[in-house]
Amino acid sequence: MNMTGADQGGGKDRARLLANIPGRYHLEKWSAGSERPTTVFACRIQRISPSNLLLSAPVSGDVGDWVIGQFNEFGRLRGQIERTLGFGFAMSLELDSEARRGMADRIAWLDRHKNYAVTDTRRHSRLLPRDPQSVIVLADASLVPCFVIDMSNSGAAVSAELDISVGMPLAIGTVVGRVVRMLDHGFAVRFIETIATTELEARLIRSPEQLLPDQQRRLHAATRVLTAAGAR
C-alpha cells in the first residue's frame, strides 16, 4: 500500500501497523434511502497508519466515496476511498492534527502490546481464517463474493451483499449449510456436516477459480435438495 499525504514526507506518519483487526463498515452514500439489501459489512484492517488504512472487505465503493468504519481498537474512523483492490480498498483517514497524534500513539501501543496472529486452531473453537475472502454458491448456482468473519467445525459467520433470510440454504466454499440467524453485519450459517478442524479453512475459503465445475454442480444439487426439503 502506498501511503499518501503526511506519510510520504517529513516523517510525520511513521507509526504503521500490519494488523488483522476485525470491524465493520458502510459507505455514506448507502445511508440515505438506500435500496440495497445489506448496507453494513464485516471487514479487517490489514494495515493502518495515522493517515491511511487498508481494508479487506467484501464490497467496495468508488474512488472518492466516504466510508465509516467501526473498530474496537480505534473506535469510529471516517475517510475516503483512494484505491480499490481485488477484495477491499485503501482509504485516507479524516483526522485533525491532534487526533492524528493520538492515532499514532494508539498504533505504537498496539504494536508493542497486541498480537494479531491468526487464532491457534488447536485451542479455540471459533477461528479466524488467515484469508477471509471466499465465495457463496446459491441454490440457483450463482456465485457471490463473501467475507468469512469467523468459523467453527459446525458453522460460520459471514458477510456478503445478499438478500438473506433464516433457513436459506447455501454453500460457503465447498461446505453446504443453512442460514440460522442474522447478525448486525452479516449472518450465521450452520453446516449440514461437522468439518474437521484440519480441513475447515481449506474447504471453506475458496475463490471462484478454485471451485471446479463438478464441485459447483454438486454444491448446486445439494443446496437445491435443502431448498426442496425446506419447502415441504
Q: How many structural domains is the chain composed of?
A: 2
**Per the domain annotation, does 48 fall within a domain?**
yes
Q: Which pLDDT does position 172 carry in this prediction? A: 95
Domain residues for the domain of 156 are: 133-231
**Per the domain annotation, does 16 fall within a domain?**
yes
The answer to whether 55 touches 159, Cβ cutoff 8 Å, is no
**Is the same domain home to 160 and 222?**
yes
For residue 185, give the nearest of 147, 213, 140 by alpha carbon: 147
Extract the C-alpha cell encoding 28. Answer: 455514506
**Per the domain annotation, does 138 fall within a domain?**
yes
**Is the same domain home to 80 and 175?**
no
**Is the same domain home to 33 and 76?**
yes
**Is the same domain home to 91 and 145?**
no
**Is the same domain home to 160 and 219?**
yes
**Is the same domain home to 225 and 142?**
yes
Q: Minimum mean pLDDT among 5-19, 128-142, 151-165, 174-188: which range?
A: 5-19
CATH of the domain at 108: 2.40.10.220
**Per the domain annotation, does 213 fall within a domain?**
yes
How does pLDDT run across 198-208, given as a tens digit for each residue? Answer: 999 999 999 88
CATH of the domain at 145: 2.40.30
**Is the same domain home to 56 and 100?**
yes
**Per the domain annotation, does 19 fall within a domain?**
yes
What lies within 8 Å, CB to CB, of 62 at 6+ separation is 81, 84
**Per the domain annotation, does 123 fall within a domain?**
no
Whether 13 shows a pLDDT value over 80: the answer reads no
How does pLDDT run across 73-94, given as a tens digit for each residue? Answer: 899 999 999 999 989 999 999 9
**Is the same domain home to 77 and 160?**
no
**Is the same domain home to 181 and 148?**
yes
How does pLDDT run across 49-58, given as a tens digit for each residue? Answer: 999 999 999 9
Q: Minimum mean pLDDT among 33-37, 69-73, 156-160: which range?
A: 33-37
Q: Which amino acid, 232? A: R
pTM listed for this prediction: 0.75
Q: Which pLDDT does position 212 carry in this prediction? A: 67
Which is higher by pLDDT, 218 or 119? 218
**Per the domain annotation, does 118 fall within a domain?**
no
